Amino acid sequence: MSDELRQGGIAILDFGSQYTQLIARRVREQGVYAEVFPHDAPTSVVYANAPRGIIFSGGPNSIYEAQSPRLAADFDLNAVPILGVCYGMQMIAHLLGGEVTPGETREYGHANITQTQTSRLFDALPTEMPVWMSHGDHVARVPAGFDVLARSSNGLLAAIGDEHRQLYGVQFHPEVKHTPHGIDILHNFIFHICKCQAKWSPKAFIDDAIERIQAQVGDDGQVLLGLSGGVDSAVAGTLIHRAIGDRLTAVFVNTGLLRRGEPEDVVRVFRDQERMNVIAVDATEQFLSALQGITEPEAKRKIIGAEFINVFRTQADKLTNVHYLAQGTIYPDVIESAAGHKSAKTIKSHHNVGGLPPDFKERFELIEPLRDLFKDEVRKVGTALGIPDHIVWRQPFPGPGLGIRCLGHLTWERLETLRAADAIYLEELEKAGLLREGTSQCFAVLLPVKSVGVMGDNRTYEEVLVLRAVTTDDFMTADWAKLPYDLLGRISNRIVNEVKGINRVTYDITSKPPATIEWE
């Protein structure tokens, strides 16, 4: 994203909240660029793109803990408007001479607040509002110059502000859906207080991305892309193809671990319809051979990743004069893989961020046109580019594919069984209108567990299938989707009757946490 689209947005300092990404998404949803920084990022870094406002995220620490996250020593609290959320509010109060105390009355979950004074932050909002609280400590005394803007039903300070210095704090989470007027509060901060302009749109991003790609690659640069068929690599590839045409070569590796029909679909859409230069490699036997006898999930992941690199390297070695490698890295990958400060925790190791083999890093210059986007923004760009809906809205699919959804030993027969069952599941969800609305991720898992059944007059002893469907805003937490019983019954009936090797279907009703979304 160019400096022009970045500038004049909102900077977010991450103090360890699980909702930090969600704050950025909520800002982006209003057409304003938002960028997440470590809490201790130097002032020069935070202000590099001239943000018009800053939001301090929440966090799990107490402000008085010895190792609690702090701002950089040179951070300026008076340069632009600031909104502190939960821990962020306590940080503002603490730094400016207020008092933060451990809460004898802790507030978690739904609560009601009442405005005690008019302010630009709550402009045109009801005097009483439901909010989502999550805190133990609270601000007991506001700093000089601050007013109490709202209190909770427990009498605790729910919002404070210094209208003159444009410093504000809220003790609840405006970014979550459980705070119905949260978007309105963020809107007031972004537009009424910070005076931001809504510059971001899919078309503006596309035009900007094409110009940046052309500038980076030049008139004769060649680009190599790993095309998976997922929305991220599809949008990245289409953008690059629009920018440089046949100078892009996309390599699609069929690992044998994809869902039914996907290998053929990727080739049909991108080579036949989009006229992209696609090299399709069927490496099914190579992958299944390497995975023979492997049942431990992490071992599977490592083998699949290593084999993919081997196949990809073989194809890359056949090409000449290719000096650029394109990846579908998106913003959550960057944040999750390396938040860049000592208090950050790596959520997952992502091959797109720092996981490339050393020789690739030396050999290629990276092109990551989607690095600044969230998944929902990638989908909007994909739609604007004219990519087919079934690609844009493809169900989230892990890199190891069915390798981690077919638990236990991987055989071609078991993978085919899982493919057939998964296809029925997705087909019925699509018919019911639940693939885009009502669910966020849906898939089937084949267990290496057999159970007794009866079909007709015959006893059966076959494997168990688990159906998984979740709802989530950010995939950091998730709840199981409450699918209609009659739909689940229809899916189960079809799978048992149409798919050989399965005689029992179950539905996973575990949230994240304590479970993960995937099973392995």
Dig out the tokens for 309 from the structure.
């690199």
Residues 6+ apart with CB under 8 A from 452: 459, 460, 461
Report the 10 Å Cβ neighbour count for 346: 10
- Enumerate the H helices of 188-342 as residue ranges: 202-217, 231-244, 262-267, 284-291, 297-317, 331-337
Dig out the tokens for 73 from the structure.
């020593």
**Catalytic-residue membership of 298:** no
Residue 494 DSSP symbol: H
Q: Residue 461 carries which side chain, given as an amino acid letter?
A: Y
Q: Are 228 and 263 in contact (CB under 8 A)?
A: no
Taking the C-alpha atoms of residue 451 and residue 506, their distance in angstroms, rounded to an integer, is: 12
Q: Which residues are paired to 507 by β-bridges?
A: 467
Cis upstream peptide for 400 (omega within 30°) = no
Residue 347: name the closest of 468, 471, 516 by CA: 516
Residues 6+ apart with CB under 8 A from 88: 13, 15, 55, 56, 57, 58, 59, 169
Residue 121: name the closest of 190, 35, 20 by CA: 190
Taking the C-alpha atoms of residue 412 and residue 79, their distance in angstroms, rounded to an integer, is: 61
Q: Which residues are paired to 253 by β-bridges?
A: 281
Dig out the tokens for 474 from the structure.
């950010």
Q: Which of 35, 86, 350, 406 is catalytic?
A: 86
Q: Residue 111 carries which side chain, given as an amino acid letter?
A: A
Q: Which of 94, 135, 138, 173 is catalytic?
A: 173
Instruction: Provide DSSP, 337-353.
Output: H---STT-------TTS
Residue 364: name the closest of 241, 222, 250 by CA: 222
Q: Residue 174 carries which side chain, given as an amino acid letter?
A: P
Helix (H/G/I), strand (E/B), else coil: 118: coil
Helix (H/G/I), strand (E/B), else coil: 79: coil
Report the 10 Å Cβ neighbour count for 318: 10
Q: Residue 11 carries which side chain, given as an amino acid letter?
A: A
**Catalytic-residue membership of 406:** no
**Catalytic-residue membership of 110:** no
Residues 6+ apart with CB under 8 A from 514: none
- CA-based radius of gyration for the chain: 25
CA angle 275, 353, 392 (to 5 degrees): 40
Residues annotated as part of the active site: 86, 173, 175
